[in-house]
């Protein structure tokens, strides 16, 4: 088993409308177990940046990390991670898609969900009308309400930008299906998961890093250690 020095670093990449703050509970559990973690804020959350700008942010963070990296991408975050890890200098040892959009070259978020690009697209997409039901169904209510206050508008461009590279074709990947997800239904996740080398399931809403951080941390540790074997 890898020790605390040789273990890969876990880079956590959030989804739409969120920020690095959403990983706080999970990072606490992982770091208490000796894991090094990093989390970034994607510029499309609260700004007009597109998916490729997000990918450059991920790539810039990867370049700052010494040694192997396991990237954990949540939801929309799977798209810029797939783009960025394909351009990285080889330190990404594994990608974990957590209820994430594991898209292929030529695909976009809007295209995957079957939504056309509006003729006059807005600059921003507001958070869903009922974010607690959508994202935090099994999160304690007070905590979910606090999370809702931190959500920001998401750049519309990030939803329409198309992948030009997809790292999972060359980098090993694992998909984690969240079975009670109301944001990305489990059936859609299962379709995406067929692109990964391995699939795990958790009985959770869209945000197990908040509702089941211990269970998720244990699963991520298992995946990361196996990737480093």
Q: Over range 4-18, report the average pLDDT.
A: 90
Q: Which numeric CATH code is attached to 9-227?
A: 3.40.50.1820
Q: Is the pLDDT of residue 15 over 50?
A: yes
Q: What is the pTM of this model?
A: 0.96
Under a CB-based contact definition with an 8 Å cutoff, are residues 135 and 159 in contact?
Answer: no
Q: Which residues fall within 8 angstroms of residue 40, CB to CB, at 6 or more apart?
A: 11, 12, 13, 14, 20, 57, 58, 61
Q: pLDDT value at position 122?
A: 77
228 falls in which pLDDT band (50, 70, 90)?
confident
Q: Over range 100-119, report the average pLDDT.
A: 90
The number of residues making up the chain comes to 229
| Predicted confidence (pLDDT) per residue in 48-94, tens digit | 999 999 999 999 999 999 999 999 999 999 999 999 999 987 899 99
Spatial separation of the C-alpha atoms in residues 10 and 221, rounded to whole Å: 9
CA angle, residues 80, 127, 75, in degrees to nearest 5: 30
Q: Is the pLDDT of residue 229 over 90?
A: no
Q: Is the pLDDT of residue 3 over 60?
A: no
Q: pLDDT value at position 115?
A: 83
Spatial separation of the C-alpha atoms in residues 216 and 29, rounded to whole Å: 9
Reference 101, options 75, 80, 125, 73; nearest CA is: 75
| Predicted confidence (pLDDT) per residue in 149-182, tens digit | 999 999 999 999 999 999 999 999 999 999 999 9
Domain range summary for the chain, segments of one domain joined by +: 9-227
Q: pLDDT value at position 5?
A: 52
Reference 76, options 184, 178, 149, 174; nearest CA is: 184
């Amino acid at each position: 088993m890898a020790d605390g020095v040789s273990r890969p670093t876990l880079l956590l990449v959030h989804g739409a409308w969120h920020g690095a703050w959403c990983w706080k509970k999970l990072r606490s559990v992982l770091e208490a177990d000796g894991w090094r973690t990093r989390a970034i804020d994607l510029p499309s959350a609260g700004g007009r940046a597109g998916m490729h700008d997000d990918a450059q942010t991920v790539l810039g963070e990867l370049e700052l990390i010494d040694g192997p990296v396991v990237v954990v991408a949540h939801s929309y975050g799977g798209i810029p991670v797939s783009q960025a890890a394909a351009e990285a200098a080889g330190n990404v040892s594994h990608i974990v898609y957590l209820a994430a959009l594991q898209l292929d070259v030529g695909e976009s978020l809007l295209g995957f969900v079957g939504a056309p690009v509006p003729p006059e697209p807005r600059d921003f997409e507001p958070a869903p009308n009922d974010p607690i039901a959508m994202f935090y169904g099994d999160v304690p209510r007070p905590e979910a309400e606090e999370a809702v206050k931190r959500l920001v508008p998401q750049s519309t461009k990030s939803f329409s930008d198309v992948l030009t590279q997809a790292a999972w074709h060359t980098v090993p990947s694992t998909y984690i299906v969240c079975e009670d997800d109301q944001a990305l239904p489990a059936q859609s996740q299962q379709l995406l998961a067929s692109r990964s080398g391995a699939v795990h399931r958790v009985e959770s809403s869209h945000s197990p890093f908040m509702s089941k951080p211990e269970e998720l941390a244990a699963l991520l540790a298992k995946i990361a250690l196996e990737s480093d074997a």
